[in-house]
Amino acid sequence: MSASEKHTTDPALELRGVTISYGAIRAARSVDLTVGAGEIVTLIGPNGAGKSSTLMGTVGLAPRGGAVLMYGEDVSNASTEQLVRKGLTLSPEGRRIFGNLSVAENLRLGGATARKTAGETEERLLDAFPKLRARYGQQAGTLSGGEQQMLAIARALMSNPSIVLLDEPSLGLAPKIVDTIFETIEQLRTWKISVLLVEQDIERALEVSDRGYVMSHGEIQMTGTSNELLTNANLKEMFFGENA
């Protein structure tokens, strides 16, 4: 069974009391959060709220306390590499593609843990992002910002994950590219991939999501369905500067 075909009643991803600390600084405190199988969940909050740290800690790239469960299995002690092999991956903030490698090599590395299906997955992703097909042999560092973001997402999806964490995928991109990125995020639902999305375009993110969490000062302050959050007066005031 591939990572994206897991069937269980447990949430795809569950964070229980997750704390992220950098020395004396606590970036996230007692974060409880779930992402159901096939669900798209958005984590929103102001800059410095601890959203990106939570995602980095979830994949083991930031010092983390608390528990992380995948489909009910406690994976708190798994290394980043083990988590990826279990079907969890991250498209990090700022893209962080390997600029000294070609597009093809970035994708090949992304599929290193799923070599049997890598060809098929790559074709599917190149169909979703035709610009990457056109730039296939080009050095990734020479791509435009939007193309680099597409590559970052495609590289993450090459591992055939069941859960993908997307950190600020639309940051600094032209509106047309943002449309492509959000279309792809919606498409992930049909590919049965669960998504935890951190995004600064809150309205757009909640429109494609099933549920959302609001984080501030390192703690989850509010949760609800996307509709509830979109119509929440406090949230509107907090993020959109609108009075109820």
Partner 1 sequence: MSELVAQQVLNALALGGVYALLGLGLAMVFSVLGMINFAHGELMTFTGYALIFLSATLGWPFFLAVFAAFAVAAASAALIERVAFRPVRGASLTTMLLTTFAISSILHVVFQNFISPRPIAVAIPDWLTSTAQFSGLRIGMLQCISLGVTVVALIGLTVFLRFSITGLAMRAAAQDFSITRLMGIPANRVIVTAFAISGLLAGLSGFLWVAQRGSVDPLMGFVPVLKAFIAVVLGGLGSLPGAVLGGFLLGFLEVLLRAMLPSELLPFRDAISLSIIITILVLRPNGLLGRAEAVR
Contacting positions for partner 1 (CB under 8 A): 59, 61, 79-81, 84-85, 89-90, 92, 96, 98-101, 105, 108-110, 112-113, 155-156, 159
Nearer to partner 1, 15 or 56 (CB): 56
Nearer to partner 1, 107 or 206 (CB): 107
Nearer to partner 1, 89 or 226 (CB): 89
Q: Which two tokens stand for residue 231?
A: 């119509």
- Nearest approach, Cβ of 110 to partner 1 (angstroms)? 6
Nearer to partner 1, 111 or 212 (CB): 111
Nearer to partner 1, 27 or 202 (CB): 27
Tell me the CA distances in angstroms from 243 to 11, 43, 59, 156, one per residue in order: 36, 22, 38, 39
- Nearest approach, Cβ of 103 to partner 1 (angstroms)? 13
Nearer to partner 1, 100 or 190 (CB): 100
- Nearest approach, Cβ of 154 to partner 1 (angstroms)? 13
Distance in angstroms (rounded) separating the CA atoms of residues 148 and 174: 13
- Nearest approach, Cβ of 56 to partner 1 (angstroms)? 9
Question: Do 96 and 73 meet the contact criterion of CB atoms below 8 Å apart?
Answer: no
As a residue count, the chain comes to: 244
- Nearest approach, Cβ of 165 to partner 1 (angstroms)? 10
- Nearest approach, Cβ of 171 to partner 1 (angstroms)? 16
